[in-house]
């Protein structure tokens, strides 16, 4: 069950937003869970402790409306068939991973809300997500690479282009995407699994 502007609905978030443009989705998402959102907005824009990041991440996983409300403010790591978008010329620097905004990803991949996963919370208190865009046309893929200066790079090679912390992020994102791909149905009863706001499939 997802909250949508104060209303309860049994429709998943990505189906509810299908009829809306990117610009109309943003204010609607941000209106979700106002009390919880306000309490966590205070940590935005400053370095926060590891404990605060873990607490915030747990809140995002537990409260679907809170997680949904922060999607427009998050940063997105983009994957294309298991290959992360990286800047090869920025290897071994903090800019090696291409992090895009919600609006930027939405421009290339309108189905963003049906394939993102929540990864972690950055040191600045920003939720970070990953999205798999394997279904985009080849010309859109090329445009995405050209405009961001990145290249969809083999994950094994990419692990040597980033710090160990970022390598962990790349690996975790790939693992969650693979888990979602392989667990669309319950392994015991065969029933379809349900996607929650953090992008995980619930058995």
What is the pTM assigned to this prediction?
Answer: 0.78
Strand locations in the chain (E): 2-4, 7-9, 75-80, 83-86, 99-101, 116-121, 127-132, 151-152, 194-195, 201-202
> What's the number of domains the chain is made of?
1
pLDDT score of 133 = 94
Where does residue 6 rank: exposed (0-12), middle (13-18), buried (19+ CB within 10 A)? exposed
Q: Is 68 helix (H, G, I), strand (E, B) or coil?
A: helix
Number of neighbouring beta carbons within 10 Å of residue 42: 9
| Half-sphere exposure of residue 151: CA atoms within 13 angstroms, side-chain side | 11
The H or E element that residue 182 is part of is helix 164-182
Q: Give alpha helix (H) positions in 4-49.
A: 13-16, 22-30, 34-41
pLDDT score of 25 = 53
Can you give the residue range of the structural domain that contains 159?
A: 2-202
Contact call for residues 199 and 116 (beta carbons, < 8 A): yes
Question: Which residues make Cβ contacts (< 8 Å) with residue 96, sequence separation at least 6?
Answer: 86, 87, 90, 161, 162, 166
Q: What is the CATH number of the domain that holds 172?
A: 3.90.79.20
Residue whose structure tokens are 């403010």:
73
pLDDT score of 184 = 80
- Which residues on adjacent β-strands are paired with residue 132? 79
pLDDT score of 198 = 78
Contact call for residues 71 and 29 (beta carbons, < 8 A): yes
Question: What does each of the 203 residues of the chain score in pLDDT, given as a tens digit?
Answer: 333 223 233 344 544 444 444 445 555 555 555 556 666 666 665 677 888 889 889 988 888 888 888 888 899 999 999 999 999 999 988 899 999 999 999 999 998 888 889 999 988 888 999 999 988 999 999 999 999 999 999 999 999 999 999 999 999 999 988 888 888 888 788 888 887 777 766 65
């Amino acid at each position: 069950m997802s909250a949508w502007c104060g209303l309860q609905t049994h429709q998943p978030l990505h189906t509810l937003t299908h009829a809306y443009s990117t610009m109309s989705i943003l204010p609607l998402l941000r209106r979700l869970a106002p009390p919880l959102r306000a309490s966590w907005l205070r940590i935005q824009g400053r370095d926060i402790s590891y404990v605060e990041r873990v607490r915030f991440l747990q809140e995002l996983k537990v409260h679907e409306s809170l997680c949904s409300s922060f999607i427009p403010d998050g940063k997105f790591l983009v994957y294309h068939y298991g290959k992360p978008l990286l800047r090869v010329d920025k290897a071994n620097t903090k800019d090696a991973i291409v992090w895009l905004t919600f609006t930027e990803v939405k421009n290339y991949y309108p189905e963003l809300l049906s394939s993102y996963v929540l990864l972690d919370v950055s040191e600045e208190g920003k939720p970070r997500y990953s999205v798999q865009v394997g279904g985009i046309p080849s010309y859109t893929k090329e445009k995405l690479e050209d405009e961001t200066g990145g290249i969809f790079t083999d994950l094994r090679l990419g692990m040597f282009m980033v710090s160990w912390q970022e390598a962990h992020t790349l690996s975790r994102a790939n693992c969650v995407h693979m888990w979602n791909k392989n667990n669309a149905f319950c392994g015991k009863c065969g029933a379809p699994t349900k996607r929650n706001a953090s992008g995980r499939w619930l058995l």
